[in-house]
Amino acid sequence: MELRKITGNVYWAMTKSKLLLTKNLVAGESVYGEKLLRISGQEYREWIPIRSKLSAAFYKGLKTVAIPEGSKVLYLGASSGTTVSHVSDMVGATGEVYAVEISEEMGANLILLAEKRKNLFPIIEDARKTETYSKFVPKCDFLYQDVAQRDQVDIFIKNSNVFLKNGAYGALAIKTKSIDVSKPSRFIIEQTVNSLKRNFIVQESIDLFPYQRDHALIIVRKK
Ligand SMILES: C[S@@+](CC[C@H](N)C(=O)[O-])C[C@H]1O[C@@H](n2cnc3c(N)ncnc32)[C@H](O)[C@@H]1O
């Protein structure tokens, strides 16, 4: 099977239809029921677009994702670690993923995941309260956020001010219905892009339909 590298341990497998894969950091371990594939002696994990917005963005033609191996990533809204596990694959053994999750229930799975993934550091806190984790988190190369909250833009800006290196990239997943259920998704995406422009250069904005309905991923670069 032919593989095409996209960025830090992420590949397209050129089967009948394209399949997104990450090189598995922890051989033999599937995290959420995804398939494991062995190609030329290396194990890869299928990255399923209906389970992960970042995967959906790749399937929708994402161009600017700067998460090479060795990157330090701050991930807000980690849940039980589905997408986090692929970001952990992306940065590899020399990278670090600081994963913030408010729910103790979700966080329990994240802590279990981190026992196997040594580059993953779970933080069970509210991402609005940066002061509760600023002691553990260094300046990062990438900020990823998926919290599905009304104040998601404020949370993103606050964290980028504290933790994101100048000129570094970030990605904000927005659930348009969390912001205003009465307005069309297109309008909410445009409004969110405009509110990010003071702090960031907006690189691209991707509607994740049909993989994730009423969701978009906005990629920015810190000014
Ligand atoms: C849509 S889910 C995230 C899914 C996950 N990013 C993935 O792709 O695997 C949103 C998560 O954000 C968490 N969350 C919501 N508000 C938060 C906050 N203020 N701080 C940290 N996590 C938060 C929720 O508990 C939930 O687990």
* Residue-wise DSSP of 134-193: TTT---EEEEEE----TTHHHHHHHHHHHHEEEEEEEEEEEEHHHH-TTS-HHHHHHHHH
Cα distance between residue 53 and residue 29, in whole Å: 21
What's the Cα-to-Cα distance from 130 to each of 51, 54, 56, 191, 204, rounded to whole Å?
Answer: 27, 23, 28, 25, 26
Is residue 82 lining ligand 1, measured as CB closer than 6 Å?
A: yes
Domains of the chain, earliest start first? 3-48 (3.30.200.20), 54-222 (3.40.50.150)
pLDDT score, position 40? 93
Q: Against a cut of 0.95, is the pTM above it? A: yes
pLDDT score, position 171? 98
Locus of tokens 């790749």: 58
Query: Which of ligand 1's atoms lies nearest the C-alpha of 128?
Result: 19
Strands 120-124 and 140-145: unpaired
Residues (pLDDT < 70) of the chain are none
8 A C-beta contact, residue 61 and residue 50: no
Locus of tokens 């929708």: 60
Q: What counts of helices (H) and strands (E) characterise the chain?
A: 6, 12
Is residue 222 lining ligand 1, measured as CB closer than 6 Å?
A: no
Strand partners, 221: 169, 201
pLDDT score, position 66? 78
Find the 4 Cα to ligand 1 centroid distance in Å.
Answer: 31
pLDDT score, position 187? 87
pLDDT score, position 65? 80
Find the 16 Cα to ligand 1 centroid distance in Å.
Answer: 34
